């Protein structure tokens, strides 16, 4: 049975670079193997497509979009876990609410009370005869206990109400497969694959069905390739933006990764997500700051400067924003502005070796050799082992 929430891939702490790196590697491995498998499938090379789809499923078991995957990792939850008795009260109060009904039934099913689960779904259908999702969920439970005849009728009813219901198409295909009719299973699985081309599980089932059908199906197989990005996953973007609004420091984990470890589309996604969060909270200084950092990673320097200037306008005492802004000013050869921001950060207490080193570099770029020397000496006074500062000092002395 499906729930409206999904299971996240098991991973290390996503707030740490190692965990996030692994998460991203899994996502892109899953996506690449899915595309590879679809190419094999289209060419009729079913054994190879099955291998690729199995690899895709291992990497991303639920074929989650990137924003959904990040939201699941961030929130630390994979599925709805409210107690069945609380859900029962909600169902009693709103018996026609499809979401409450499905979650209540799911809770009963997970508790091993299949009869109560089925009874709850039947009651839900009595209140919502035209709910494709309720018919589908009931069909799924019936199929799990080998009530295949009614399950097939319920899957068919779900498709009558919502002809593009991908999961119901898969369910009906499985019923035909169980009856020994792989050709008919292929027909439904093709439709399901077209409805959800990013789902490796559907493609895997289609490969198996085509292999079983043999010469009864035409080759090459017509498949639908997934879209290149996840920008269309609007609900997931909304969820992720809400989570980032509550904890914008999650972005720091991405910024800590080397460029080679992160596909640029990840930062494009983060920029879009932060923009959405800022539409709701335009006075949130940390969101502006992190948006500026992400834009900087994308090479959009002018936009990054504007975002971090807004952050400082909202929180003038933010030393980290002042330091980041100084780095961006330096990229644009605005040496005086960069020096001013770094000196301000130091006055606010950011007396760190790397800040003095950066200040020395800006002075040196501006031709202020003596000030550069003093800044490097400050850096070495804080950290005598600072190799870059030592080399820089030797260079200005030379």
Tell me what the pLDDT averaged over the chain comes to.
Answer: 87
Does the pTM surpass 0.85? The reply is no
Contacts 24+ apart (CB under 8 A), 15-22: 15/249, 15/250, 15/253, 16/253, 17/253, 17/256, 17/257, 19/73, 19/253, 20/253, 20/254, 20/257, 21/257, 21/261
For the cut 80, the answer to whether the pLDDT of residue 76 exceeds it is no
pLDDT in tens, 150-208: 999 999 999 999 999 999 999 999 999 998 999 999 999 999 999 999 999 999 999 99
- How high is the pLDDT of residue 107? 82
pLDDT score for 176:
94
Q: What is the sign, positive or negative, of the torsion defined by CA atoms of 190, 195, 198, 201?
A: negative
What is the tens place of the pLDDT at every residue in 180-189?
999 999 999 9
Q: What's the pLDDT score for residue 2?
A: 45
pLDDT tens figures, 282-339: 999 999 999 999 999 999 999 999 999 999 999 999 999 999 999 999 999 999 999 9
């Amino acid at each position: 049975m499906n729930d409206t929430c999904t299971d996240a891939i098991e991973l290390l702490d996503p707030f740490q670079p190692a965990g996030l790196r692994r998460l991203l590697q899994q996502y892109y491995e899953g996506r690449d193997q899915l595309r590879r498998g679809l190419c094999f499938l289209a060419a009729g090379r079913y054994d190879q497509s099955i291998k690729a789809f199995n690899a895709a499923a291992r990497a991303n078991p639920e074929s989650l979009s990137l924003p959904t995957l990040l939201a699941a990792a961030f929130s630390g939850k994979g599925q709805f876990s409210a107690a069945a008795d609380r859900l029962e009260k909600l169902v009693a109060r709103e018996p026609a609410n499809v979401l409450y009904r499905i979650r209540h039934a799911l809770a009963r099913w997970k508790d091993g009370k299949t009869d109560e689960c089925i009874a709850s779904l039947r009651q839900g259908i009595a209140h919502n005869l035209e709910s494709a999702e309720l018919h589908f969920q009931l069909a799924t439970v019936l199929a799990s206990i080998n009530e295949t005849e009614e399950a097939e009728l319920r899957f068919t009813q779900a498709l009558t109400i919502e002809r593009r219901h991908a999961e119901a198409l898969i369910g009906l295909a499985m019923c035909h497969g169980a009856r020994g009719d792989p050709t008919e299973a292929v027909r439904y699985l093709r439709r399901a694959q077209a409805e959800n081309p990013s789902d490796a599980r559907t493609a895997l089932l289609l490969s198996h069905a085509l292999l079983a059908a043999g010469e009864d199906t035409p080759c090459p197989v017509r498949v639908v390739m997934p879209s290149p990005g996840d920008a269309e996953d609007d609900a997931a973007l909304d969820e992720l933006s809400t989570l980032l609004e509550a904890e914008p420091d999650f972005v720091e984990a991405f910024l800590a990764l080397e460029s080679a470890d992160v596909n640029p589309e990840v930062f494009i996604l983060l920029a879009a997500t932060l923009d959405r969060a800022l539409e709701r909270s335009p006075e949130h200084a940390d969101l502006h700051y992190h948006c500026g950092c992400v834009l900087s990673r994308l090479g959009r320097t002018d936009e990054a400067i504007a975002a971090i200037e807004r952050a400082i306008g909202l929180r003038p005492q933010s030393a980290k924003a002042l330091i980041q802004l100084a780095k961006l000013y330096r990229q644009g050869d605005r040496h005086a502005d960069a020096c001013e921001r770094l000196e301000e950060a130091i006055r606010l207490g950011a007396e760190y070796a790397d800040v003095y080193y950066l200040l020395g570099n800006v002075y040196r770029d501006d031709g202020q050799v003596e000030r550069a020397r003093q800044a490097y000496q400050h850096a070495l006074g804080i950290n005598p082992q600072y190799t870059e500062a030592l080399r820089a000092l030797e260079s200005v002395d030379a």
